[in-house]
């Protein structure tokens, strides 16, 4: 079963649109939009399991320039 999550991202000031555009190109990201509020970018991502999702966040998302903090929220299917 595919694991899906929302990744809430805080960026450096003025970098939200640039980060959203860059992160949209990452394999596993299905949606990336810059938003207003306490987070600057919200991403929808998917991976084949929780371990792969963690690798996606740590090695691909958090390494992008302009990102200061992330919060990963796995989607719960009931």
Q: What pLDDT is attached to residue 77?
A: 76
The mean pLDDT of 39-50, rounded to a whole number, is: 96
pLDDT for 33 beyond 80? yes
- pLDDT in the model for residue 78: 55
What's the CATH code of the domain at 24?
A: 3.30.70.920
Q: Range of 29's domain?
A: 3-75
Q: How far is CA 28 from CA 12, 14, 24, 78, in A?
A: 23, 25, 9, 23
Output the pLDDT for position 66: 95
pLDDT at 64 over 70: yes
The answer to whether residues 41 and 23 touch, using CB atoms and an 8 Å cutoff, is yes
How many domains, in total, are found in the chain? Answer: 1
């Amino acid at each position: 079963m595919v694991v899906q999550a929302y990744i809430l991202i805080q960026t450096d000031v003025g970098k939200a649109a640039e980060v959203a555009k860059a992160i949209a190109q990452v394999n596993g990201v299905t949606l990336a939009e810059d938003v207003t509020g306490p987070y600057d970018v919200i991403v929808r991502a998917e991976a084949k399991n929780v371990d792969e999702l963690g690798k996606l966040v740590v090695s691909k998302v958090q390494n992008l320039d302009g990102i200061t903090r992330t919060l990963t929220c796995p989607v719960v299917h009931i």
